[in-house]
Amino acid sequence: MGCEMKKKPGVRPRYQVIKGFICQAIRDRTYPVDARIPTEHELAKKFAVSRMTANRAIKELVADGLLVRHQGLGTFVTNIHAESPVLEIRNIADEIRERHHVYSNELFRLHEVRVDELLAGRLGISVGERAFHSIIVHKENGQPIQLEDRYVNAAIVPGYAEQDFSAITPNRYLSGIFPLSEIEHIIEAVLPDSLEQDLLKISADLPCLRVNRRTWSSGRLISCARLVHPGNLYRLSSRSTTGTSNA
pLDDT band for position 75 (50/70/90)?
A: very high
**CA 87, chain centre distance (Å):** 17
| pTM for this prediction | 0.64
Q: How many Cβ atoms from other residues are within 10 Å of residue 87's Cβ?
A: 11
Average pLDDT over residues 195-215: 93
Asked if pLDDT for residue 132 goes beyond 90, the answer is yes
- Indicate the pLDDT class of residue 113, thresholds 50, 70 and 90: very high
Residue 180, pLDDT score: 86
Q: Which of 230, 215, 123, 121 is nearest to 170 (CA)?
A: 215
d(CA 189, CA 238): 17
Nearest to 221 by CA among 156, 135, 162, 172: 156
Whether pLDDT at 65 is above 50? yes
- Asked if pLDDT for residue 241 goes beyond 60, the answer is no
pLDDT at position 242: 43
Q: Tell me whether residue 219 is in a domain.
A: yes
Say if residue 46 is in the same domain as residue 90. no
**Residue 192 confidence (pLDDT) above 70:** yes
- Written as one letter, the residue type at 38 is P
Distance CA 150, CA 199 (A): 15
Mean of the per-residue pLDDT values for the chain?
86
- Structure confidence at residue 83 (pLDDT): 53
* Domain end residue (candidates: 25, 54, 77): 77
Query: What is the C-alpha separation between 45 and 222, in angstroms, rounded?
Result: 57
Q: How many Å apart are CA 150 and CA 113, to the nearest integer?
A: 12
Rg of the chain taking only CA atoms, in angstroms: 22
Same domain, 68 and 117: no
Q: With 90 as the cut, is the pLDDT of residue 216 above it?
A: yes
Q: Which of 59, 77, 95 is the last residue of a domain?
A: 77
Residue 204's SS3 state is coil
Structural domain includes residue 162: yes
Q: Which residue has the higher pLDDT, 65 or 112?
A: 112
- Say if CB 103 and CB 204 are below 8 A apart: no
CATH code: domain of residue 36: 1.10.10.10
- The confidence score (pLDDT) of residue 39 equals 94
Q: How many domains does the chain have?
A: 2
What integer is the mean pLDDT of 210-214?
Answer: 92
Cα–Cα nearest to 125, from 111, 114, 109: 114
| 82-85 and 234-237 beta bridge pairing | parallel
Which residues have CB under 8 Å from 193's CB, separation 6+?
Answer: none
Say if residue 1's pLDDT is above 60. no
Domain assignment of residue 3, yes or no: no
Instruction: Please give the pLDDT value at position 229.
Output: 92
Helix, strand, or coil (residue 154) = coil
The answer to whether 1 touches 60, Cβ cutoff 8 Å, is yes
How many Å separate Cα 36 from the centre of its chain? Answer: 24
Q: With a cut of 80, say whether residue 38 has pLDDT above it.
A: yes
Q: Is 184 helix (H, G, I), strand (E, B) or coil?
A: strand
Structural domain range at position 193: 82-237
Q: Name which of 84, 89, 83 is nearest 182 in CA terms.
A: 89
Shared-domain flag, residues 71 and 98 = no
pLDDT score of 24: 87
Instruction: Write the burial class of residue 80 (CB in 10 Å: 0-12 exposed, 13-18 middle, 19+ buried).
Output: buried
Q: What is the pLDDT of residue 247?
A: 35
Last residue within a domain, chosen from 23, 55, 77: 77
- Percent of the chain with pLDDT strictly greater than 70: 86
Report helix, strand and coil shares of the chain as percent, to nearest 5.
25, 35, 40
CATH of the domain at 181: 3.40.1410.10
**Interhelix angle for 40-47 vs 14-27, to 10°?**
110
Q: Is the pLDDT reported for residue 232 higher than 80?
A: no
